[in-house]
Chains A and B, each alone.
Chain A
């Protein structure tokens, strides 16, 4: 089903933000909308957006490839994106990341065996005074978690796991 059929109100609102002759501008918000479905953007979704905006699927794919918050393959349900950039690293972010890896039994870039969490190292998230910190990217949005410890993070993951089980 196309985005316009599934989310008619959202698509209309998005297109209304930009001059009608420049509807290509809507590609980024439409990609976020498409990502809601599966936590990644399928080829069908790219084709759908290309047709809506009257651009080629290559143009849409170039956007997906360029920007790091769009994903073209399935990973963990929650992408835990830890900032290991300079200011956070001066406040212990590298050690935090190492302990997280040890606790989860995965390396940076890998996903836990239950498919729940993908651990990623990212660049500055504008929270340099609240390190260690990470954001969780999920199907519909992003959440910041600041001033974190490994214990607090493991508790959070346990909560996410429970809520997933309950939802099923």
Chain B
């Protein structure tokens, strides 16, 4: 099967505008603007079953339909902040197949009536931002961006905005604050971005991978897209495979591919032939899945993974073998979230601080079971009390790690 998103693996020069155009590139955007009404684009994307690839899995077309049509202008923001430990797919898309991503931004913008779109990249993607700026300029020169496109009244500009090192800016309302020139701290919702987003105007925020699907869906139709994947999770997904596997990397596969296929067929199996002990399917924010033979044969889609007590999220599959202690893992994740907590809400700011001190004591070996109990208690106290998902995420590995792998925490 040929690639739908990572098409540079089939067509090496697709990051060149002429090569992209020769392979059908930008025709979907042109067709969209010249032949379709914005709501027809939204309906088609709804019918395709496309769900957001940033982690939440929310239906993309439905998200667009929430945009407030009484307040103008509208904005589109592409979330290219990619900072979840274990996630490295958007980077490959933007490096390898940048025009398809930008065409996706353009299609989404047309669908919601936005005349300006911002691509928010994490600061570390400095070189990618520079390259996207050049690609955007090429599209402007070739008449695909700018004023009155293809002889219609529709105009569109795309701009990049570079972050500067803050995981929290991947959270959509923190991202908007950051574009507005403020510290990246989440907003209290409601109002939601579809009503009051960037500059207080209705805004749609979509992940890079989500947007990169759009040109292919517009070109080939909703039924084509739905013919791949599972009924609840249509299409293909890029699985970022990392951890103790022989061949880590990005694998573009249909939803419904099993963990076993991903890890053993594509990822070459586990290092040193060890057994898989646990899987974190959504990066550092994951719950731990306890792995046995049956679990390995579970299809990866938004619905089925949930039956294992975890979310598929951004499909950043971190593989943990039996040489690794879960206690060591949550020491890493807690330090990460403590460092990245923005400090705005008390449960997250204080909770990550206390979790860090407790895991340090446990990790250094001075532990008692009471310390483990207290750590679990702090994590549970934080749940459902934080202003944004970061605080909630920081507790997932802690709670499921201690509850599902007690032998890694308790004294014998």
By a beta-carbon cutoff of 8 Å, the part of chain A in contact with chain B is 17-19, 22, 24-29, 31-32, 53, 55, 59, 62-63, 66-70, 85-87, 89-91, 122-129, 135, 141-144
Contacts and interface: CB of A to CB of B under 8 A. Distances in A.
Contact of A85 (B125, B179, B244, B332): B332
A144 to B, nearest CB: 8
Given A28-B161, A69-B164, A86 B284 contact: yes
B156 to A, nearest CB: 14
B243 A90 contact: yes
Interface residues of B, number: 51
19 contacts: A22-B181, A24-B180, A25-B179, A25-B180, A59-B181, A59-B182, A69-B123, A69-B164, A85-B85, A86-B333, A87-B86, A90-B243, A123-B167, A124-B87, A126-B88, A128-B87, A128-B248, A129-B241, A135-B124
Contacts of B199: 19, 22
A64 to B, nearest CB: 9
Interface in B314-347: 316, 318, 320, 324, 329, 332-333, 336, 339-340, 342
B323 to A, nearest CB: 10
A110 B87 CA distance: 29
Given A28-B178, A86-B329, A129 B249 contact: yes
Most buried by B among A55, A125, A144: A125
A67 B163 contact: yes
A42 to B, nearest CB: 17
B187 interface: no
Contacts of A125: 124
Given A86-B336, A128-B242, A68 B88 contact: no
B248 A129 contact: yes
Contact of B340 (A17, A123, A129, A141): A123
Contacts of A67: 123, 163-166, 183-184
A123 B336 contact: yes
A24 B181 contact: yes
B166 A86 contact: no
Contacts of A141: 126-127
Contacts of A32: 162, 164
A49 to B, nearest CB: 10
Interface string B122-138: 11111100000000000
A28 B164 contact: yes
A32 B250 CA distance: 31
Most buried by B among A53, A68, A128: A128
A135 B128 CA distance: 14
B85 A142 contact: no
A126 B167 CA distance: 11
Most buried by A among B166, B167, B324, B332: B332
Interface of B: 82-88, 90-91, 122-127, 159, 161-167, 178-184, 199, 240-244, 248-250, 284, 316, 318, 320, 324, 329, 332-333, 336, 339-340, 342
Nearest to B397: A86
A91 B248 CA distance: 10
A126 B165 contact: no
B163 A17 contact: no
Nearest to B90: A126
Contacts of A29: 161-162
A87 B243 contact: yes
B178 A123 contact: no
Contact of A90 (B165, B324, B340): B324
A142 B131 CA distance: 13
B164 A124 contact: no
Nearest to A28: B164
A142 B180 contact: no
Contacts of B182: 24, 59, 62-63
B169 to A, nearest CB: 9
Contacts of B123: 67, 69, 142
A159 to B, nearest CB: 19
Contacts of B125: 126
Contacts of B248: 91, 128-129
B127 A142 contact: yes
B164 A26 contact: no
B363 to A, nearest CB: 13
A66 B88 contact: no
Q: Which 8 A-B residue pairs are closest in the complex by CB-CB distance?
A: A68-B165, A67-B164, A129-B248, A24-B181, A128-B242, A124-B85, A69-B165, A69-B164
Contacts of A123: 83, 85, 167, 336, 339-340
Contact of A26 (B181, B240, B249, B332): B181
Contacts of B88: 126-129
Given A68-B166, A90-B244, 4 more contacts: A28-B163, A86-B329, A90-B318, A129-B250
Nearest to A62: B183
Contacts of A91: 242-244, 248
A35 B226 CA distance: 48
A128 B249 CA distance: 8
A22 B118 CA distance: 14
Contacts of B122: 126
A141 B164 CA distance: 11
